[in-house]
Homo-oligomer: A and B are copies of this chain.
Amino acid sequence: MRIILCGFGVVGQSLVKLFVSRSEDLYAKYGLKPRVVGVFDSKGSAVDQSGLDLEKLILVKKEFGTVKNYAKTKNNYSGLDMIKNIDADVLIETTASNYKDAEPGMTHITNAMKSGMHVISVNKGPLALAFPSLMELATYNQVMFKFSGTVGGGTPILDYAKNSLKGERITSFAGILNGTTNYILTNMANGLSFDAALNDAKSKGYVEADESLDLDGLDAAAKLVILANWVMDMKVTMPDIKCTGIRKVTTENIKNAAKKKCAVKLIASCNKELEVSPKEISVDDPLCVNGTLNAIAFTSEHSGTQTIIGKGAGGMETASSILRDLLDIRQEIART
Protein backbone atom coordinates (compact mmCIF):
# COMPACT_ATOMS: atom_id res chain seq x y z
CA MET A 1 0.00 0.00 0.00
CA ARG A 2 1.57 3.29 -1.15
CA ILE A 3 1.17 6.11 1.31
CA ILE A 4 1.63 9.88 1.21
CA LEU A 5 2.13 11.19 4.73
CA CYS A 6 1.21 14.85 5.29
CA GLY A 7 3.06 16.16 8.32
CA PHE A 8 5.83 14.47 10.27
CA GLY A 9 5.31 15.59 13.85
CA VAL A 10 4.80 13.36 16.88
CA VAL A 11 1.93 11.41 15.29
CA GLY A 12 3.62 10.91 11.91
CA GLN A 13 6.84 9.75 13.54
CA SER A 14 5.00 7.40 15.90
CA LEU A 15 3.19 5.90 12.91
CA VAL A 16 6.42 5.27 11.02
CA LYS A 17 7.96 3.70 14.14
CA LEU A 18 4.90 1.45 14.37
CA PHE A 19 5.34 0.43 10.72
CA VAL A 20 8.96 -0.49 11.46
CA SER A 21 8.41 -2.34 14.74
CA ARG A 22 5.41 -4.30 13.48
CA SER A 23 6.27 -4.83 9.82
CA GLU A 24 6.48 -8.62 10.00
CA ASP A 25 3.39 -8.99 12.10
CA LEU A 26 1.34 -6.62 9.91
CA TYR A 27 2.24 -8.54 6.80
CA ALA A 28 1.76 -12.01 8.28
CA LYS A 29 -1.47 -11.25 10.09
CA TYR A 30 -3.17 -8.72 7.80
CA GLY A 31 -1.26 -8.80 4.50
CA LEU A 32 -0.41 -5.13 5.00
CA LYS A 33 2.87 -3.82 3.59
CA PRO A 34 2.88 -0.05 4.09
CA ARG A 35 5.15 1.78 1.65
CA VAL A 36 5.59 5.49 2.44
CA VAL A 37 6.32 7.12 -0.95
CA GLY A 38 6.26 10.74 0.16
CA VAL A 39 6.38 12.72 3.39
CA PHE A 40 6.82 16.37 4.23
CA ASP A 41 7.21 18.57 7.28
CA SER A 42 7.31 22.33 7.70
CA LYS A 43 10.87 22.55 6.32
CA GLY A 44 10.89 20.21 3.35
CA SER A 45 10.03 16.82 1.93
CA ALA A 46 11.33 13.34 1.10
CA VAL A 47 10.09 11.32 -1.83
CA ASP A 48 10.80 7.85 -3.20
CA GLN A 49 8.29 6.26 -5.52
CA SER A 50 9.57 2.79 -4.57
CA GLY A 51 9.18 3.45 -0.84
CA LEU A 52 11.27 5.45 1.63
CA ASP A 53 13.63 3.70 4.02
CA LEU A 54 11.65 4.26 7.21
CA GLU A 55 14.45 3.73 9.73
CA LYS A 56 16.61 6.21 7.83
CA LEU A 57 13.69 8.64 7.72
CA ILE A 58 13.39 8.62 11.51
CA LEU A 59 17.14 9.10 11.96
CA VAL A 60 17.26 12.00 9.51
CA LYS A 61 14.34 13.70 11.23
CA LYS A 62 16.02 13.23 14.59
CA GLU A 63 19.36 14.59 13.42
CA PHE A 64 18.26 17.52 11.26
CA GLY A 65 14.77 18.25 12.62
CA THR A 66 13.37 17.81 9.10
CA VAL A 67 13.00 15.07 6.47
CA LYS A 68 14.49 17.45 3.87
CA ASN A 69 17.98 15.96 4.33
CA TYR A 70 16.82 12.40 3.51
CA ALA A 71 18.26 12.47 -0.03
CA LYS A 72 21.16 14.38 -1.52
CA THR A 73 19.00 15.96 -4.20
CA LYS A 74 16.62 17.82 -1.97
CA ASN A 75 13.16 18.64 -3.15
CA ASN A 76 10.54 20.84 -1.68
CA TYR A 77 7.27 19.19 -2.57
CA SER A 78 4.19 20.46 -0.78
CA GLY A 79 1.36 18.08 -0.01
CA LEU A 80 -0.41 19.24 -3.14
CA ASP A 81 2.72 18.68 -5.29
CA MET A 82 2.94 15.14 -3.98
CA ILE A 83 -0.69 14.37 -4.67
CA LYS A 84 -0.27 15.66 -8.23
CA ASN A 85 3.08 14.02 -8.99
CA ILE A 86 3.30 10.78 -7.01
CA ASP A 87 1.26 7.62 -7.40
CA ALA A 88 -0.22 6.57 -4.07
CA ASP A 89 -3.17 4.62 -2.70
CA VAL A 90 -3.71 6.38 0.61
CA LEU A 91 -3.16 9.89 1.90
CA ILE A 92 -2.63 10.25 5.64
CA GLU A 93 -3.29 13.77 6.88
CA THR A 94 -1.66 14.67 10.20
CA THR A 95 -1.04 18.44 9.92
CA ALA A 96 -2.33 20.68 12.72
CA SER A 97 -6.07 21.34 13.11
CA ASN A 98 -7.33 24.87 12.56
CA TYR A 99 -10.95 25.92 12.67
CA LYS A 100 -10.73 29.06 10.51
CA ASP A 101 -10.19 27.62 7.03
CA ALA A 102 -8.90 24.10 7.93
CA GLU A 103 -5.88 24.59 5.63
CA PRO A 104 -3.62 23.05 4.50
CA GLY A 105 -5.47 19.84 5.49
CA MET A 106 -8.57 20.70 3.46
CA THR A 107 -6.58 21.10 0.22
CA HIS A 108 -4.74 17.82 0.83
CA ILE A 109 -7.88 15.85 1.54
CA THR A 110 -10.05 17.19 -1.30
CA ASN A 111 -7.29 16.87 -3.90
CA ALA A 112 -6.38 13.36 -2.77
CA MET A 113 -10.01 12.26 -3.03
CA LYS A 114 -10.33 13.79 -6.50
CA SER A 115 -7.20 11.86 -7.51
CA GLY A 116 -8.82 8.63 -6.36
CA MET A 117 -6.81 8.18 -3.16
CA HIS A 118 -8.33 6.84 0.04
CA VAL A 119 -7.90 9.31 2.89
CA ILE A 120 -7.13 8.90 6.60
CA SER A 121 -7.27 12.13 8.60
CA VAL A 122 -6.39 12.74 12.23
CA ASN A 123 -6.64 16.46 11.47
CA LYS A 124 -10.02 17.56 12.84
CA GLY A 125 -10.19 20.91 11.03
CA PRO A 126 -11.55 19.80 7.66
CA LEU A 127 -14.09 17.50 9.33
CA ALA A 128 -15.27 20.16 11.77
CA LEU A 129 -15.84 22.70 9.00
CA ALA A 130 -17.10 20.46 6.21
CA PHE A 131 -17.96 16.93 7.35
CA PRO A 132 -21.08 16.51 5.21
CA SER A 133 -19.47 17.73 2.00
CA LEU A 134 -16.27 15.71 2.54
CA MET A 135 -18.33 12.54 2.94
CA GLU A 136 -20.13 13.37 -0.29
CA LEU A 137 -16.86 14.00 -2.08
CA ALA A 138 -15.51 10.63 -0.91
CA THR A 139 -18.65 8.83 -2.07
CA TYR A 140 -18.62 10.64 -5.41
CA ASN A 141 -15.00 9.65 -6.02
CA GLN A 142 -15.56 6.13 -4.66
CA VAL A 143 -12.78 6.39 -2.11
CA MET A 144 -12.76 5.52 1.59
CA PHE A 145 -12.52 8.27 4.17
CA LYS A 146 -11.42 7.27 7.69
CA PHE A 147 -10.84 9.41 10.77
CA SER A 148 -10.77 7.13 13.86
CA GLY A 149 -8.02 9.18 15.48
CA THR A 150 -9.96 12.44 15.51
CA VAL A 151 -12.06 11.46 18.53
CA GLY A 152 -10.61 9.64 21.54
CA GLY A 153 -7.09 9.18 20.14
CA GLY A 154 -6.31 5.49 20.49
CA THR A 155 -9.69 4.71 22.06
CA PRO A 156 -11.94 3.57 19.19
CA ILE A 157 -15.01 5.55 20.22
CA LEU A 158 -16.33 6.16 16.70
CA ASP A 159 -16.05 2.52 15.72
CA TYR A 160 -17.66 1.39 18.95
CA ALA A 161 -20.71 3.59 18.42
CA LYS A 162 -21.07 2.77 14.74
CA ASN A 163 -20.15 -0.90 14.56
CA SER A 164 -20.09 -2.54 17.99
CA LEU A 165 -23.50 -1.03 18.73
CA LYS A 166 -24.91 -2.00 15.33
CA GLY A 167 -28.66 -2.57 15.38
CA GLU A 168 -28.98 -0.42 18.51
CA ARG A 169 -30.38 3.09 18.38
CA ILE A 170 -28.27 5.66 20.20
CA THR A 171 -30.63 8.32 21.51
CA SER A 172 -28.12 10.72 23.08
CA PHE A 173 -24.55 10.96 24.26
CA ALA A 174 -22.34 13.11 26.46
CA GLY A 175 -18.61 13.12 26.90
CA ILE A 176 -15.42 14.62 28.24
CA LEU A 177 -13.61 14.91 24.93
CA ASN A 178 -10.69 17.22 25.73
CA GLY A 179 -8.00 15.90 28.05
CA THR A 180 -6.28 19.26 28.60
CA THR A 181 -9.29 21.03 30.06
CA ASN A 182 -10.08 17.93 32.12
CA TYR A 183 -6.56 18.05 33.54
CA ILE A 184 -6.96 21.74 34.41
CA LEU A 185 -10.38 21.26 36.04
CA THR A 186 -9.09 18.24 37.99
CA ASN A 187 -6.19 20.29 39.36
CA MET A 188 -8.53 23.16 40.24
CA ALA A 189 -10.62 20.65 42.21
CA ASN A 190 -7.40 19.73 44.00
CA GLY A 191 -6.94 23.34 45.08
CA LEU A 192 -5.02 25.10 42.29
CA SER A 193 -6.17 28.41 40.81
CA PHE A 194 -7.11 28.50 37.12
CA ASP A 195 -3.84 30.21 36.19
CA ALA A 196 -1.69 27.83 38.22
CA ALA A 197 -3.50 24.82 36.75
CA LEU A 198 -3.12 26.21 33.23
CA ASN A 199 0.60 26.84 33.73
CA ASP A 200 1.07 23.33 35.07
CA ALA A 201 -0.71 21.88 32.01
CA LYS A 202 1.47 24.03 29.74
CA SER A 203 4.66 22.86 31.45
CA LYS A 204 3.62 19.25 30.80
CA GLY A 205 3.06 19.97 27.09
CA TYR A 206 -0.68 19.29 27.28
CA VAL A 207 -1.84 22.65 25.89
CA GLU A 208 -2.16 23.34 22.12
CA ALA A 209 0.12 26.06 20.65
CA ASP A 210 -3.07 28.08 20.24
CA GLU A 211 -4.46 27.64 23.78
CA SER A 212 -7.88 28.85 22.68
CA LEU A 213 -8.49 25.49 20.96
CA ASP A 214 -8.50 23.84 24.38
CA LEU A 215 -9.71 26.57 26.73
CA ASP A 216 -12.58 27.90 24.59
CA GLY A 217 -13.87 24.42 23.85
CA LEU A 218 -13.08 24.42 20.10
CA ASP A 219 -11.30 21.07 20.20
CA ALA A 220 -14.22 19.47 22.06
CA ALA A 221 -16.69 21.13 19.67
CA ALA A 222 -14.85 19.76 16.62
CA LYS A 223 -15.06 16.26 18.09
CA LEU A 224 -18.75 16.78 18.81
CA VAL A 225 -19.33 17.72 15.15
CA ILE A 226 -17.62 14.51 14.05
CA LEU A 227 -19.60 12.34 16.49
CA ALA A 228 -22.92 13.99 15.58
CA ASN A 229 -22.35 13.39 11.86
CA TRP A 230 -20.92 9.88 12.15
CA VAL A 231 -22.94 8.39 14.99
CA MET A 232 -26.24 10.28 14.74
CA ASP A 233 -26.35 10.90 10.98
CA MET A 234 -26.77 14.62 11.54
CA LYS A 235 -25.48 17.05 8.91
CA VAL A 236 -23.79 19.68 11.04
CA THR A 237 -20.60 21.75 11.18
CA MET A 238 -18.88 23.95 13.80
CA PRO A 239 -21.36 26.87 13.67
CA ASP A 240 -24.12 24.47 14.80
CA ILE A 241 -22.45 23.90 18.18
CA LYS A 242 -23.34 26.09 21.16
CA CYS A 243 -19.87 26.38 22.66
CA THR A 244 -18.62 27.72 26.01
CA GLY A 245 -15.10 27.07 27.27
CA ILE A 246 -13.69 26.83 30.80
CA ARG A 247 -12.17 30.31 31.17
CA LYS A 248 -14.98 31.49 33.43
CA VAL A 249 -14.99 28.47 35.74
CA THR A 250 -13.96 29.63 39.23
CA THR A 251 -12.63 27.68 42.21
CA GLU A 252 -15.86 28.85 43.87
CA ASN A 253 -17.94 26.99 41.25
CA ILE A 254 -15.89 23.88 41.82
CA LYS A 255 -16.21 24.06 45.62
CA ASN A 256 -19.96 24.47 45.36
CA ALA A 257 -20.17 21.44 43.09
CA ALA A 258 -18.05 19.39 45.52
CA LYS A 259 -20.53 20.12 48.32
CA LYS A 260 -23.16 18.32 46.22
CA LYS A 261 -20.75 15.40 45.52
CA CYS A 262 -20.36 16.75 41.99
CA ALA A 263 -17.45 17.87 39.83
CA VAL A 264 -17.34 20.55 37.13
CA LYS A 265 -16.41 19.02 33.76
CA LEU A 266 -16.37 20.38 30.20
CA ILE A 267 -19.16 18.28 28.71
CA ALA A 268 -19.85 17.89 25.00
CA SER A 269 -23.38 16.65 24.60
CA CYS A 270 -25.84 15.67 21.92
CA ASN A 271 -29.39 15.56 23.18
CA LYS A 272 -31.63 17.45 20.79
CA GLU A 273 -29.16 20.36 21.06
CA LEU A 274 -25.43 20.16 20.36
CA GLU A 275 -23.54 21.84 23.15
CA VAL A 276 -20.10 22.14 24.73
CA SER A 277 -20.07 23.74 28.17
CA PRO A 278 -18.88 23.30 31.77
CA LYS A 279 -21.43 21.27 33.74
CA GLU A 280 -21.76 19.74 37.17
CA ILE A 281 -21.86 15.94 37.11
CA SER A 282 -22.02 13.49 40.01
CA VAL A 283 -18.67 12.07 41.07
CA ASP A 284 -20.41 8.66 41.10
CA ASP A 285 -21.22 8.94 37.38
CA PRO A 286 -18.87 6.62 35.40
CA LEU A 287 -18.39 9.62 33.07
CA CYS A 288 -16.69 11.57 35.87
CA VAL A 289 -13.05 10.74 35.11
CA ASN A 290 -10.04 12.76 36.23
CA GLY A 291 -6.66 13.88 34.92
CA THR A 292 -6.19 13.83 31.15
CA LEU A 293 -8.63 10.95 30.64
CA ASN A 294 -11.44 11.18 28.11
CA ALA A 295 -14.81 9.51 28.57
CA ILE A 296 -18.03 9.25 26.63
CA ALA A 297 -21.40 7.81 27.58
CA PHE A 298 -23.78 6.63 24.86
CA THR A 299 -27.41 6.16 25.84
CA SER A 300 -29.13 3.58 23.69
CA GLU A 301 -32.71 2.47 23.28
CA HIS A 302 -32.37 -1.13 24.45
CA SER A 303 -29.06 -1.57 26.21
CA GLY A 304 -28.91 1.37 28.56
CA THR A 305 -25.99 3.75 28.98
CA GLN A 306 -22.52 2.56 28.07
CA THR A 307 -19.41 4.48 29.01
CA ILE A 308 -15.98 4.21 27.39
CA ILE A 309 -12.95 5.66 29.12
CA GLY A 310 -9.45 5.98 27.70
CA LYS A 311 -6.47 8.18 27.03
CA GLY A 312 -7.64 10.78 24.57
CA ALA A 313 -4.37 11.76 22.98
CA GLY A 314 -0.71 10.90 22.63
CA GLY A 315 1.43 10.22 19.55
CA MET A 316 1.49 6.44 19.75
CA GLU A 317 -2.19 6.23 20.65
CA THR A 318 -3.19 8.31 17.63
CA ALA A 319 -0.77 6.38 15.42
CA SER A 320 -2.45 3.15 16.49
CA SER A 321 -5.79 4.57 15.35
CA ILE A 322 -4.29 5.37 11.92
CA LEU A 323 -3.07 1.80 11.73
CA ARG A 324 -6.60 0.56 12.44
CA ASP A 325 -7.93 2.71 9.61
CA LEU A 326 -5.26 1.37 7.26
CA LEU A 327 -6.19 -2.19 8.15
CA ASP A 328 -9.84 -1.38 7.46
CA ILE A 329 -8.94 0.00 4.05
CA ARG A 330 -6.70 -2.99 3.32
CA GLN A 331 -9.52 -5.36 4.24
CA GLU A 332 -12.11 -3.49 2.23
CA ILE A 333 -9.87 -3.47 -0.86
CA ALA A 334 -9.21 -7.21 -0.51
CA ARG A 335 -12.94 -7.81 -0.36
CA THR A 336 -13.84 -5.99 -3.58
Which residues of A line the B interface, CB within 8 A? 18, 26, 30, 153-156, 159-160, 163-168, 284, 286, 289-290, 293, 295, 300, 302-311, 314, 316-317, 319-321, 323-324, 326-328, 335
Could you list some 5 contacts between A and B, CB below 8 A? A165-B324, A286-B293, A286-B309, A300-B320, A303-B311
Contacts of A159 in B (CB 8 A): 163-164
Contacts of A168 in B (CB 8 A): 154, 320, 324
For the complex of A and B, 4 pairs with smallest distance between CB atoms: A154-B303, A302-B320, A156-B164, A306-B310
Which of B300, B307, B316, B323 touches A308 (beta carbons < 8 Å)?
B307
Q: Report yes or no: A303 in contact with B320, Cβ–Cβ below 8 A.
A: yes
Q: Report yes or no: A309 in contact with B310, Cβ–Cβ below 8 A.
A: no
Contacts of A305 in B (CB 8 A): 310-311
Q: Report yes or no: A30 in contact with B324, Cβ–Cβ below 8 A.
A: no
- Dominant secondary structure at the A interface: mixed
Q: Report yes or no: B167 in contact with A327, Cβ–Cβ below 8 A.
A: yes
Which of B166, B308, B319, B323 touches A306 (beta carbons < 8 Å)?
B308
Q: Report yes or no: B167 in contact with A302, Cβ–Cβ below 8 A.
A: no
Q: Report yes or no: A304 in contact with B309, Cβ–Cβ below 8 A.
A: no
CA gap between A247 and B160 in the complex, in Å: 36
A138 → chain B, closest Cβ, in Å?
21
Q: Report yes or no: B286 in contact with A289, Cβ–Cβ below 8 A.
A: yes
Contacts of A284 in B (CB 8 A): 290
A135 → chain B, closest Cβ, in Å?
18
Q: Report yes or no: B317 in contact with A304, Cβ–Cβ below 8 A.
A: yes
CA gap between A323 and B316 in the complex, in Å: 35
A332 → chain B, closest Cβ, in Å?
12
CA gap between A321 and B306 in the complex, in Å: 13
CA gap between A30 and B328 in the complex, in Å: 21
Residues A303 and B155 in contact in the complex (CB < 8 Å), given A286-B289, A289-B286:
yes
Contacts of A311 in B (CB 8 A): 303-305
Q: Report yes or no: A160 in contact with B164, Cβ–Cβ below 8 A.
A: yes
Residues A303 and B327 in contact in the complex (CB < 8 Å), given A164-B159, A164-B163:
no
Q: Report yes or no: A306 in contact with B155, Cβ–Cβ below 8 A.
A: yes
Q: Report yes or no: A307 in contact with B304, Cβ–Cβ below 8 A.
A: no
Q: Report yes or no: B307 in contact with A303, Cβ–Cβ below 8 A.
A: no
Contacts of A303 in B (CB 8 A): 153-155, 310-311, 314, 316-317, 320-321
Q: A155-B306, A167-B326, A306-B310 are in contact. List 18 more A-B contacts (CB 8 A).
A: A154-B303, A156-B164, A156-B165, A159-B164, A166-B327, A168-B320, A168-B324, A284-B290, A286-B289, A286-B295, A300-B320, A302-B319, A303-B314, A304-B314, A306-B308, A307-B307, A307-B310, A335-B335
